[in-house]
Amino acid sequence: MTFKEQIQEGIPSILPPKKEYDLAINHAPKRKEILSAEEKKLALKNALRYFEPQHHAELITEFAEELEKYGRIYMYRFRPDYRMYARPIDEYPGKSLQAKAIMHMIQNNLDYAVAQHPHELITYGGNGAVFQNWAQYLLTMQYLSEMTDEQTLTMYSGHPMGLFPSHKEAPRVVVTNGMVIPNYSKPDDWEKMNALGVSQYGQMTAGSYMYIGPQGIVHGTTITVLNGFRKIKLNPEGNLFVTSGLGGMSGAQPKAGNIAGCITVCAEVNPKITKIRHEQGWINEIVTSTEELVARVNSAKANKETVSIAYLGNVVDVWECFDKENIKIDLGSDQTSLHNPWAGGYYPAGISFEEANEMMADNPDLFKEKVQESLRRQAKAINKHTAKGTYFFDYGNAFLLEASRAGAAVMAENNIDFKYPSYVQDIMGPMCFDYGFGPFRWVCTSGKPEDLQKTDTIASQVLEELAKTSPNEIQQQMQDNIKWIKGAQENKLVVGSQARILYADAEGRVKIAEAFNQAIAKGEIGTVVLGRDHHDVSGTDSPYRETSNIYDGSRFTADMAIQNVIGDSFRGATWVSIHNGGGVGWGEVINGGFGMVLDGSKEASKRLASMLFWDVNNGISRRSWARNEGAVFAIKRAMEVEPLLKVTLPNLVDESLL
């Protein structure tokens, strides 16, 4: 069968042969035992409902073995034989250009060069899934190949509920992930529902088909590192940034450090992912002992090098060793997946990677003890460094939250706030999000590098023109972004699809998108998909990260994210998504995203102007109402530009009256 025929077939009527478990692939760790005997029967019934009854006798034993061995039913047998990558859009079967673009994005999320655990359909973060099993993937792709522009596909946590009649201006796909009743949003609730096959953790851009590899976070990380050094009034050159994690999102850190121009030490316990990041050019060097690391860092400091060094080992050892050896750390953070601390998101010091994987599945209570002991050690070492002048910030990965739950000394004197700020509180919130600057993305679905290069040039020209009349309040942001996009090609950021990320405000996003649409209409470039990270101005309500600089008491509300995805859906988004969890953990955040297909049409031009303006200004208005100074400035400016926009502004109270 051809590739198109395999897509159109969906779940095969004749069972494919059973597949061998590929040990060369980076697999998800075994999930802990959580289902009762009756619940295991229910999980099997749930899995088998995808298949005709004559196949149940053969599949039930196989699925039962997967459930026992891996803690989940992935249906490995049904993993496609074709290579998984984002093909040029015209290679997909279908009746809808928009649906073909979504297939392109789904396959990019599962590309072996992009996905963290591709055979388990997990893109990043240890549990950020596109689908729960391979039957869901096959059925979804089949539906997309059949869809017309008069239908909408409804996705329930990876499960394609079906194609429903709609209309051309409606989203082609509506995605929900992990939308559970609030009282059932604890980590073990997710473990049980995911094992039953009824819910999943979509992370932010995994389950919304908008992940573009580590590039997706590298721009924001670069801005964070640059502004971190600015905050402590240091030039990055010859100075040290220490962090951890080389996974899907955290893997951006060493590349960002190189672009910023500092020395970066990034610890990672997983040898496979360390090797992959080195081969991809996202890190310069790998060292395997603290002795070698100390010597290398001292040499880099002496020569004022720009270099990224991966330490294959535990970050706790780095913090403790550098304290003992009196190596000055200028910036410090952590980007391990502590939203998922008990299932592979964080590995404790003192035991090997292999031992930890066994312990988390076979003795989860002891594993939890080891993780919390390790967090206390790490926090203690960090506190010693900050006493010497290190600027440490929480990278929104729930490090401080989980460290506090472990009893580590990370609380402020009031015992309510954390001792260290979130990077959103200190850097990204007041400098970017309040002014409307966030991670705008686009993907050239032709798969042609020359198309991406043309879009880089177009975006650069638009920003340079806008910068001529931009107010002083946002000139630093404009210049940082112009420098970024001009260096995008030489920094070799592409992994997977021909994609780009660029921090821009509403005006920049609309004008760049319109310029793309005009270039498509002229035949200069092919179809483009617009999107963004959920980690943005409006998309996410997350009290310890995206909305951590909201101080009016509304940090724990989720009105903004819900309004965002509803508003995007009727203003022209091609697909929308809303997730529980993402970045900081299940039950800790609600986040929404979108995708929009540009085809060069007048209709696309109308949709992009309406939707992108709303997508940003929804968040600015909420931040303005919280009395954030930059957001008040930004929303007033937006109202001057758009007479139909009228936002309620806060009146400030004289503190002496209080």
> What six digits make up the tokens of 375?
């967090």
SS3 content of the chain, % helix, strand, coil (to 5): 45, 15, 40
Contact between 237 and 306 under an 8 Å Cβ cutoff? The reply is yes
Return the percentage of the chain with pLDDT > 70, whole number. 100
* Cα separation, 21 vs 41, whole angstroms: 24
The alpha carbon of residue 347 and the mean position of all alpha carbons in its chain are separated, in whole angstroms, by 20
**Sheet strands (E) in 280-334:** 285-287, 307-312, 331-332
SS3 264: strand
**Sheet strands (E) in 518-657:** 528-532, 540-541, 575-580, 590-598
Quick one: pLDDT band at residue 438, thresholds 50, 70, 90? very high
pLDDT in tens, 191-242: 999 999 999 999 999 999 999 987 878 888 998 999 999 999 999 999 999 9
Question: Which residues define the annotated binding site for NAD(+)?
Answer: 125-126, 203, 268, 395, 583
Measured CA to CA in angstroms, residue 21 lies from 101, 117, 373 at distances of 31, 13, 34
- Cβ-based neighbours of 348, under 8 Å, separated by 6 or more: 314, 356, 367, 370, 371, 373, 374
Amino acid identity of residue 545, one-letter, is: R
Strand order in the sheet with 285-287: 285-287, 307-312, 263-268, 240-244, 331-332, 391-392
The alpha carbon of residue 435 and the mean position of all alpha carbons in its chain are separated, in whole angstroms, by 22
**Torsion-angle region of residue 59: left (phi > 0), alpha (psi -120 to 50) or beta?**
alpha
Residue 285: beta bridge partners?
A: 309
Instruction: Note the pLDDT of residue 290.
Output: 97
Domains assigned to the chain = 3-136+184-196 (no CATH), 214-423 (3.40.50.10730), 436-644 (3.40.1770.10)
Contact between 585 and 532 under an 8 Å Cβ cutoff? The reply is no
CB atoms within 10 A of CB 633: 17
SS3 135: helix
Query: What is the SS3 string spanning 214-261?
Result: EHHHHHHHHHHHHHHHHHCCCCCCCCEEEEECCCCCCCHHHHHHHHHC
**For residue 151, is pLDDT > 70?**
yes
pLDDT in tens, 264-319: 999 999 999 999 889 988 899 999 999 999 999 999 999 999 999 999 999 999 99
**For residue 395, is pLDDT > 70?**
yes
Question: Which residues define the annotated binding site?
Answer: 125-126, 203, 268, 395, 583
Work out the mean pLDDT of the chain and round it to a whole number. Answer: 95
For the residues 357-363, what does the mean pLDDT come to? 92
CB < 8 Å & 24+ apart, contacts of 62-70 = 62/18, 64/40, 67/35, 67/40, 67/43, 67/195, 69/30, 70/28, 70/30, 70/31, 70/120
Quick one: pLDDT band at residue 426, thresholds 50, 70, 90? confident
Amino acid identity of residue 430, one-letter, is: P
Q: What is the DSSP letter of 290?
A: H
Contact between 288 and 341 under an 8 Å Cβ cutoff? The reply is no
pLDDT in tens, 440-472: 999 999 999 999 999 999 999 999 999 999 999
**For residue 583, is pLDDT > 80?**
no
Return the percentage of the chain with pLDDT > 90, whole number. 86
> What six digits make up the tokens of 595?
């995708």
**For residue 340, is pLDDT > 90?**
no
For the residues 396-402, what does the mean pLDDT come to? 87
Contact between 266 and 244 under an 8 Å Cβ cutoff? The reply is yes
pLDDT in tens, 586-640: 899 999 999 999 999 999 999 999 999 999 999 999 999 999 999 999 999 999 9
pTM exceeds 0.85 for this model = yes
- Cβ-based neighbours of 138, under 8 Å, separated by 6 or more: 9, 10, 11, 12, 78, 80
**For residue 38, is pLDDT > 80?**
yes
The alpha carbon of residue 188 and the mean position of all alpha carbons in its chain are separated, in whole angstroms, by 22
Query: What is the SS3 string spanning 313-339?
Result: CCHHHHHHHHHHCCCCCCEECCCCCCC
Contact between 219 and 491 under an 8 Å Cβ cutoff? The reply is no
CB atoms within 10 A of CB 593: 33
Question: For tokens 């260290």, what's the residue?
Answer: 420
Instruction: Note the pLDDT of residue 248.
Output: 66
For the residues 86-100, what does the mean pLDDT come to? 98
Lowest mean pLDDT among 10-14, 180-184, 487-491, 609-613: 487-491
SS3 503: strand
Compute, in degrees rounded to 10, the torsion defined by CA atoms 426, 428, 432, 437: -170
Largest Cα–Cα distance in the chain? 77
